[in-house]
Amino acid sequence: MKTLKIDELSKNFGTTEVLRKINLEIDEGNFLVLLGPSGCGKSTLLNIIAGLETINEGNVYIDDYNVSKVEPKDRNIAMVFQSYALYPSMNVRENMIFGLKQAKVSKEKIEEQLQKVSKFLQVDALLERKPSQLSGGQRQRVAIGRALVREPRIFLFDEPLSNLDAKLRVEMRREIKKLHQQLKTTVVYVTHDQTEAMSLGTNIAIMNHGVIQQNDTPENIYNKPSNTFVADFIGSPSMNLIKGNLKQSSNQNSFVANGSNFEIPINGYDFKEKSNLENKEVFFGIRPEHIFSKKSNEGDFEINLRADLSEYIGHEQIVTFDYENQEVLAKFPSTIKIELSKNTKLYFDLTQISLFDAKTEERI
């Protein structure tokens, strides 16, 4: 049984297609993050799961039960919003029990739930306050509390941390992670922040233009992006994508960048499909953090590139190199001295590379 299943779901706003044939499944207790740039449809998808938005095609199942036409309140879900959406005229207590009161839960049960949750979230001292008298972090906690008291099957989070300042955001991120570890409730979490997605999710679904680009574990998303969009979206700075061709000879596969005749051996690469590789136009993907200034692994590949630009950011530096008129970024500890406008010896960790078809932009 899947806690949540989305089947061939499509959604239009007028003539604009917002979601196209979305398929998703979440197992009990998992933490799914919907990640993507703004306008990719992730919030719409969340609203559809909540029942706040209608569906044009496809179905949503919660515990194998088709809820596509079920009212939000009857879906056994709870949602936390970006603006917290606490009812301004009610105090914390009234905010938290509003849903239970609507559901006609008995007074004793409501009180019991309220005590339990408010202690758990450490908002029990704030019960009589109005939302306007709370700090950002407290409001966030109360909003989570309002979701918790209902003991839902699925928690929906819609960019809950983006209104907080940087420091508080990191704190609340950890609290949400702890919360999930303790409660083990299924979560669907929308964000555009890759760090949030990576650190919270057991699964990440990366979306763009209403299509899921890749739905995988954070490790696979980072190490084996399924297309250039994902490769580019995840990581900071993002993956270098060097344009070039594949070359196949009897015992060796290699990559040759455009404008050069220098061969980078890629024998160790795990191709999805081994045929038709000769002369294929590809993007050679390597992350800045997998380029080193010293040989650190036996398999590291030595290459000479000219350093053009160095950006110091405290604990590390990002250096831009020129590879036959294509930019290649590398990330080094800031203690290393790199001379600009000079050729520098670099070492590519070839076990960490990705190759993409230049036409389809898919991983090969």
Residues that bind another protein (CB under 8 A): 47, 50-52, 71-73, 77-79, 81-89, 98-99, 102-103, 131-132, 134, 139, 146, 158
Q: Choose between 97 and 282: whose C-beta lies nearer to another protein.
A: 97
Q: Measured from the CB of residue 71, what is the shortest distance to another protein in angstroms?
A: 8
Q: Which is nearer to another protein, 164 or 241 (CB)?
A: 164
Residue 153: partners with Cβ closer than 8 Å, 6 or more residues away: 3, 62, 63, 76, 77, 185, 186
Rounded to whole angstroms, the Cα distance separating 353 from 331 reads 15
- Taking the complex as a whole, the smallest distance from the CB of residue 138 to another protein amounts, in Å, to 11
CB closer to another protein out of 164 and 364:
164
Closest separation in Å from C-beta 286 to another protein: 42
Is 75 or 287 the residue whose CB approaches another protein more closely?
A: 75
Q: Residue 78 and residue 113: Cα distance in Å, rounded?
A: 15
What is the H or E stretch that residue 61 is in? strand 57-62
Residue 87 CB, nearest approach to another protein (Å): 5
The DSSP-derived string for 170-205 is HHHHHHHHHHHHHH--EEEEEES-HHHHHHH-SEEE
The least CB distance from residue 148 to another protein, in Å, is 13
Instruction: Concatenate the DSSP letters of all residues of 269-293 into one string.
Output: ---S--SS-TT-EEEEEE-GGGEES
- CB of 133 vs another protein, minimal distance in Å: 10
Minimum gap (Å) between residue 142 Cβ and another protein: 10
Give the residue with the Cβ less far from another protein, 118 or 214: 118
Strand partners, 17: 12
Contacts of 197 (CB under 8 A, 6+ apart): 33, 35, 189, 191, 204, 218
CB of 127 to another protein, least distance (A): 17
Please give the torsion angle defined by the CA atoms of residues 247, 253, 255 and 260, in that order, rounded to the nearest 10 degrees: -60
82 or 199: whose CB is closer to another protein? 82
> What span, in angstroms and rounded, lies between the C-alpha atoms of 221 and 354?
12
Nearest to 26 by CA among 155, 208, 178: 155
The DSSP output letter for 262 is P
CB nearer another protein, residue 87 or residue 271: 87
CA distances to 82, 92, 108, 110, 291 from 127, in Å: 21, 5, 17, 14, 53
**Complex with another protein: residue 94 or 232, whichever CB lies closer:** 94
CA angle, residues 317, 227, 200, in degrees to nearest 5 = 65
Beta-carbon contacts of residue 189 (< 8 Å; ≥ 6 apart) = 31, 32, 33, 34, 155, 156, 157, 160, 196, 197, 200, 201
Q: CB-wise, 155 or 284, nearer to another protein?
A: 155
In whole angstroms, the minimum distance from the beta carbon of 226 to another protein comes to 33
